[in-house]
Amino acid sequence: MTATAIHWARIGESTFAAGIWFLYGVHRVVGRRLLRALLWPVVLFYAATQPRARRASLDYLARMQAAHGVIGAQPGTLHWLRHLMSFAETLLDKLLATSGRYAFAEVKLEGQEQVDALLAQGRGALLVTAHIGCLELCQALANRLPGLRLTVLVHTRHAERFNAILKRLNPASQVTLLQVTEVDASTAVELERRVQAGEFVAIAGDRVPVASARTATVPFLGAPAKFPVGAYVLASLLACPLLMLGCVRENGRHVVRFELLGERVLVPRAGRDAALQQWTEQFVRRMEALLVRAPYDWFNFYPFWA
């Protein structure tokens, strides 16, 4: 990271409790169509007051167009506005998914058979995710498979607040947020207990935690970028399967995708860095392929390649 770059965690969160309750309340009164129209002033205000997010969006969209040509033209104002609007709509979907008010029957599941097999065997697994689309829709799978229990590791101080919101919106939720700044020995023991009990643990594979210096630099959209390696270290410690979990919107419909990355993650002491590099590259390749399907579903609005 350069001297002028700012860590993503220092930029702050836009979706605080008051805003969450406000949007949720508005949707209950006016419905989705009218709320979508009301989102445009919010998006325009955000675009005008957050130049860093605007620049990050254009940077990402330009790299996506250069690498895969899926934007259709050199990205400009209309493209980054569409990108920010996609983010705003996804925030709404997060609320609906969290509260159980989303039409989960409309969610398409890819790779569900891999999760079915693990649940049938009573085995847990580690899910490596990214800030792509509406991952809260993984609750769609929980609705169809009541045995699924999910713990999501987050790296910010907002976990306790959002846990309270989760339980208030949906007391039956099988999703728990667990705040961690670094996976230490005590955290690993707790996660091992959960996985051995058949739970699934999700961890982001695209944002470097505040307190972590362990990264791998791999190609992403045609340029080197730093990614955390904590998911692969943790998977090796837990001795459990590793899957990628992603979510994108295609043709107006959300798709939740599971991909098996490995039945067992081996990170030997000899060749440790090379092994972590390979696991990171595999995840990033799968993540990039998912983004090609829905290029406006990338929600890292900070200098990612800095």
Condensed to tens digits (0 to 9), the pLDDT of residues 255-292 reads 999 999 999 999 998 999 999 999 999 999 999 999 99
Q: What is the Cα–Cα distance from 54 to 172, expressed in whole angstroms? A: 38
Distance of alpha carbon 90 from alpha carbon 197, whole angstroms: 32
User: Stretch 47-66: mean pLDDT, rounded?
Assistant: 93
Q: Count the alpha carbons within 13 Å of 155 in the hemisphere toward its beta carbon.
A: 23
Note the pLDDT tens digit of each residue in 86-130: 988 887 787 777 777 777 778 888 998 999 999 999 999 999 999
Average pLDDT over residues 170-191: 72
Q: Strand, helix or coil at 151? A: strand
For the chain, the average pLDDT equals 83
Of the candidates 49, 33, 168, 143, the one whose C-alpha atom is nearest the C-alpha of residue 92 is 33
Total-model pTM: 0.85
| Cβ atoms of 203 and 128 closer than 8 Å | yes
Closest CA to 299 of 109, 96, 95, 60: 60
Assess contact for 234 and 191: CB atoms under 8 A: yes
Length of the chain: 306
Q: Which conformational region is residue 278 in: left (phi greater than 0), alpha (psi within -120 to 50 degrees), or beta?
A: alpha
Task: In whole angstroms, give the CA distance from residue 32 to residue 22.
Answer: 14
Residue spans per domain, the chain: 8-297
| Share above pLDDT 90 across residues of the chain, in percent, rounded to a whole number | 47
Q: Which helix (H) or strand (E) holds 285?
A: helix 272-293
